[in-house]
C-alpha cells in the first residue's frame, strides 16, 4: 500500500515508518520543516513538505495513496489556538485531501477519555478539538478507524495491549501504538471501529479479534 502520514516527524510516526517499510509499504511523511527530511529518509519514508496549519489545501502533498494516518498534534507546549488549528482543523484538512484524491482509508490517532474532558483549560480545549476531529471523521464517509491511546510513554514496547470501546485511564508506549496502527492499516475489518488502547496482557491481534467480534 501507499500510506501517507501527517505529522511525519512525530514520535509515533517515526516508529511507524520503519514498521510499514518492513511490511513492504510505500510511506510518505508530511513534515513542515525541511531539516527533518533526512531523518525520515533514514527510516524509509519519503518526506514531503506541507504545513497542515497554514496551507488551506494539502491534497497535492498527500498525492496518490491507499491510506492516510493522522499522527500530528500541536503538542503539550502549545496554547489553545493551535489545538483548534492543528488537532482539529489539520485532521479535517487531511480528510478533505483524502476525499479529493480518492483515498478512502483514514486512520486517526485520537486520545481516550474525550467524552469527559479533564485537566486545565488548555488540555480541555485539546480534548474538545480531538473530539470534534473524530466526529468529523465519523461523518466523513471515509473508511475510518479511530485509535484512542491513553497517556503516551517512551518506554520500550511490549506488544501486549488492552483494547476496548471504553477503558479506565492508563498508559501505553508509543512503540506499541505504532504497532497497533500498522496492524489496523493492514486489517480492513477494523474499518468503522474506534477503541481505547492502553498497555495490557494480550497480543495486538488477539485484542483486535475480540474487539471485532464484540
Ligand atoms: N501525549 C499523550 O499522552 C497523548 C495521548 C493520546 C493521544 N495523543 C495524540 O497522539 C498523537 C501523536 O503523538 P506523538 O507524541 O507521536 O506526537 P508528537 O511527537 O508531538 O508529534 C506531532 C507532530 O505533529 C507535527 N505538527 C505540528 N504542527 C504541524 C503543522 N502545522 N504542520 C505539520 N505538522 C505539524 C509536529 O511537527 P514539528 O516537529 O514541525 O512541530 C510533530 O512532528 C497526537 O495526535 C497526540 O495528540 C497524545
Q: How confident is the model at residue 214 (pLDDT cuts 50, 70, 90)?
A: confident
CB neighbour list of residue 189: distance below 8 Å, 6 or more residues apart: 208, 212
Q: What total number of domains does the chain contain? A: 1
**Residue 154, pLDDT above cutoff 80:** yes
**Ramachandran area for residue 48 (φ above 0: left; ψ -120 to 50: alpha; else beta):** beta
Residues 116-128 have a mean pLDDT of 95
Q: For the beta carbon of residue 203, count every other beta carbon within 10 angstroms.
A: 14
The pLDDT assigned to 212 comes to 86
CATH number assigned to the domain comprising residue 105 = 3.40.50.720
Domain assignment of residue 122, given as a range: 2-213
- Are 115 and 131 a contacting pair, CB within 8 Å? yes
Q: pTM (2 decimals)?
A: 0.98
DSSP E strand stretches across 88-190: 105-109, 143-149, 151-153, 160-164, 171-173
Going by C-alpha positions, the residue among 2, 99, 105, 26 that lies closest to residue 59 is 99
Which tens digit of pLDDT belongs to each residue from 42-72? 999 999 999 999 999 999 999 999 999 999 9
Long-range Cβ contact pairs of 181-184 (< 8 A, separation 24 or more): 181/12, 181/16, 181/69, 181/71, 181/107, 181/109, 181/147, 182/16, 182/19, 182/20, 182/23, 183/208, 184/107, 184/145, 184/147, 184/208
Ligand 1 and 53: CB distance under 6 A: yes
Residues 154-176 have a mean pLDDT of 97
Going by C-alpha positions, the residue among 180, 182, 185 that lies closest to residue 195 is 180
Q: For the beta carbon of residue 212, count every other beta carbon within 10 angstroms.
A: 12
- Are 12 and 174 a contacting pair, CB within 8 Å? yes
Cell of 91: 485532521
Which tens digit of pLDDT belongs to each residue from 65-98? 999 999 999 999 999 999 999 999 999 999 999 9
- Residue 208 Cα to chain centre, angstroms: 17
Active site (annotated) includes residue 106: no
Residues 110-137 have a mean pLDDT of 96
The pLDDT assigned to 208 comes to 95
Task: Tell me the C-alpha to C-alpha distance, in Å, between residue 168 and each of 10, 12, 141, 146, 162.
Answer: 26, 22, 29, 17, 11
Atom of ligand 1 nearest to the CA of 75: 20
Q: How confident is the model at residue 213 (pLDDT cuts 50, 70, 90)?
A: confident
Q: How many angstroms separate the alpha carbon of residue 214 from the centre of ligand 1?
A: 31
20 three-class SS: helix
Q: How many angstroms separate the alpha carbon of residue 171 from the centre of ligand 1?
A: 17
- How close are the terminal C-alpha atoms of the chain, in Å? 28
Residues 133-152 have a mean pLDDT of 98
Ligand 1 and 111: CB distance under 6 A: yes
**Mean pLDDT for all residues in the chain:** 97
Amino acid at each position: 500500500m501507499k500510506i501517507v502520514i501527517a505529522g511525519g516527524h512525530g514520535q509515533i510516526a517515526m516508529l511507524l515508518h520503519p514498521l510499514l517499510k518492513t511490511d513492504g509499504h510505500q510511506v510518505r511523511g508530511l513534515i513542515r520543516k525541511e531539516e527533518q527530511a533526512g531523518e525520515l529518509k533514514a527510516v524509509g519514508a519519503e518526506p514531503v513538505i506541507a504545513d497542515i496549519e497554514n496551507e488551506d489545501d494539502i491534497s497535492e502533498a498527500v498525492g496518490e495513496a491507499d491510506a492516510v494516518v493522522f499522527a500530528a498534534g500541536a503538542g503539550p507546549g502549545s496554547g489553545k489556538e493551535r489545538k483548534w488549528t492543528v488537532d482539529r482543523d489539520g485532521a479535517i484538512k487531511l480528510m478533505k485531501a483524502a476525499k479529493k484524491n480518492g483515498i478512502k482509508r483514514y486512520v486517526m490517532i485520537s486520545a481516550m477519555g474525550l467524552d469527559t474532558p479533564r485537566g486545565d483549560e488548555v488540555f480541555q480545549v485539546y480534548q474538545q478539538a480531538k473530539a470534534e476531529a473524530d466526529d468529523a471523521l465519523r461523518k466523513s464517509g471515509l473508511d475510518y478507524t479511530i485509535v484512542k491511546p491513553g497517556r503516551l510513554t517512551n518506554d520500550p514496547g511490549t506488544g501486549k495491549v488492552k483494547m476496548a470501546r471504553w477503558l479506565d485511564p492508563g498508559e501505553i508506549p508509543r512503540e506499541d501504538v505504532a504497532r497497533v496502527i500498522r496492524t489496523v492499516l493492514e486489517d480492513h475489518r477494523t474499518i468503522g471501529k474506534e477503541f481505547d488502547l492502553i498497555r495490557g496482557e494480550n497480543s495486538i491481534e488477539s485484542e483486535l479479534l475480540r474487539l471485532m467480534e464484540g
